């Protein structure tokens, strides 16, 4: 399967300038092609194909106003048109909304290079229009004997540079095990397992809330368009990046452990988009990142030959006694421990829910 490895790198001044020009040209080509497609569909009722957009790009390069498009590598520009084509294909298939224009401030600055636009020799990566290879921090090695097929370079809001290298890799399934687990996502505990274990929720956003608020207040005091405001915006972005990095690292460790130790993993099919409408819990739910936890479990289970089962969101896991199956009429959120009136078993709310999720997941699988 194809798998991307992401690394941080530190460009020279010349490389940073070249990449910044490429990012700007990619954004311009994408927006101009989107504008032309929208105009053609609105006024003429026809769809513009990728071939037409590619031909238009060639004509744009010949005009005095857009002659600078020829100064950067043509491959990222063509890839931008392919991404736009994929966006329209998803829109017409009703898998996504109508494509939107890329913003210089809000959109991620990135460029994609295919095999013809970079050189890979002896573990060193050199992009088109550059004389020297990128200074990449190899935090982990690429699979032995792998050859990159696509390279994506990006710069995040905190000013950090990253390169994602796409390779084809054979991932061997893990040895089958007999253990299965049910997972109940929560706020106080990030995940409660059917074994009775509770995985703590680090609450990374809460830990850096004061630092974030201080940086945001400093940003609010700066004049719009000033250099000081740009510096303050960078400080805010760095705090957000620190929170996101620590949260992602913790989720990777938790999900990797669950996949390695269990053959079947049962989770609740939660609709996070609806849950965050509760203004009292929205911040805590977003900090817990339940959706990202579920996504990691999905692709890691597929990689390593495990089974992930999503139990229906309306399944009454909290109100059902895992010992005798008695269903309670109500179960308010403030009730964290309760006793079954039928069999007398005393339940921890979250552990009981995890046990019921496991039983339902095993029944479905």
Active site residues: 184, 268, 350
To 5 degrees, how large is the angle CA 111–CA 167–CA 164? 35
**DSSP string for residues in 27-54:** HHHHHHHHHHHHHIIIII--PPPHHHHH
Which burial class, exposed, middle or buried, applies to 145 when counting CB atoms under 10 A from its CB (0-12, 13-18, 19+)?
exposed
Cα separation, 325 vs 177, whole angstroms: 28
Which pairs from 323-327 meet CB under 8 Å and 24+ separation? Answer: 323/347
Cα separation, 4 vs 39, whole angstroms: 36
Residue indicated by tokens 């970079």: 118
Contact at 8 Å (CB) between 297 and 259?
yes
Structure tokens at 76: 């990222």
Residue indicated by tokens 């070249």: 18
């Amino acid at each position: 399967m194809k798998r991307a490895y992401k690394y941080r790198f530190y460009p020279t001044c010349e490389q940073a300038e070249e990449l910044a020009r490429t990012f700007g040209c990619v954004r311009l080509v994408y927006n101009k092609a989107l504008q032309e497609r929208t105009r053609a569909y609105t006024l003429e009722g026809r769809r513009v194909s990728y071939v037409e957009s590619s031909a238009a790009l060639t004509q744009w390069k010949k005009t005095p106003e857009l002659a600078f498009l020829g100064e950067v590598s043509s491959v990222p520009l063509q890839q931008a048109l392919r991404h736009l084509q994929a966006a329209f294909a998803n829109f017409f298939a009703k898998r996504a909304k109508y494509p939107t224009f890329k913003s210089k401030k809000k959109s991620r600055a990135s460029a994609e290079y295919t095999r013809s636009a970079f050189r890979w020799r002896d573990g060193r990566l050199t992009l088109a229009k550059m004389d020297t290879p990128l200074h990449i921090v190899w935090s982990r090695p690429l699979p032995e004997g792998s050859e990159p097929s696509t390279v994506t370079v990006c710069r995040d809001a905190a000013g950090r540079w990253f390169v994602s290298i796409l390779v084809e890799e054979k991932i061997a399934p893990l040895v089958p095990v007999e253990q299965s687990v049910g997972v109940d996502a929560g706020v106080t505990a990030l995940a409660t397992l059917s074994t009775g274990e509770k995985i703590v929720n680090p609450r990374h956003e809460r830990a850096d809330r004061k630092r974030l608020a201080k940086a945001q207040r400093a940003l609010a005091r700066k004049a719009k368009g000033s250099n000081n405001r740009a510096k303050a915006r960078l400080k805010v972005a760095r705090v957000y990046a620190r929170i996101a990095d620590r949260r992602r690292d913790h989720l990777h460790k938790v999900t990797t452990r669950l996949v390695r130790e269990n053959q079947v993993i049962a989770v609740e099919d939660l609709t996070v988009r609806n849950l965050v409408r509760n203004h009292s819990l929205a911040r805590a739910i977003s900090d817990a990142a339940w959706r990202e936890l579920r996504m990691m479990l999905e692709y890691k289970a597929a990689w390593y030959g495990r089974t992930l089962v999503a139990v229906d969101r309306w399944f009454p896991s909290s109100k059902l006694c895992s010992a005798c199956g008695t269903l309670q009429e109500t179960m308010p959120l403030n009730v964290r421990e309760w006793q079954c009136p039928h069999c007398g078993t005393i339940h921890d709310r979250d552990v009981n829910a995890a046990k019921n999720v496991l039983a339902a997941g095993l029944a479905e699988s």
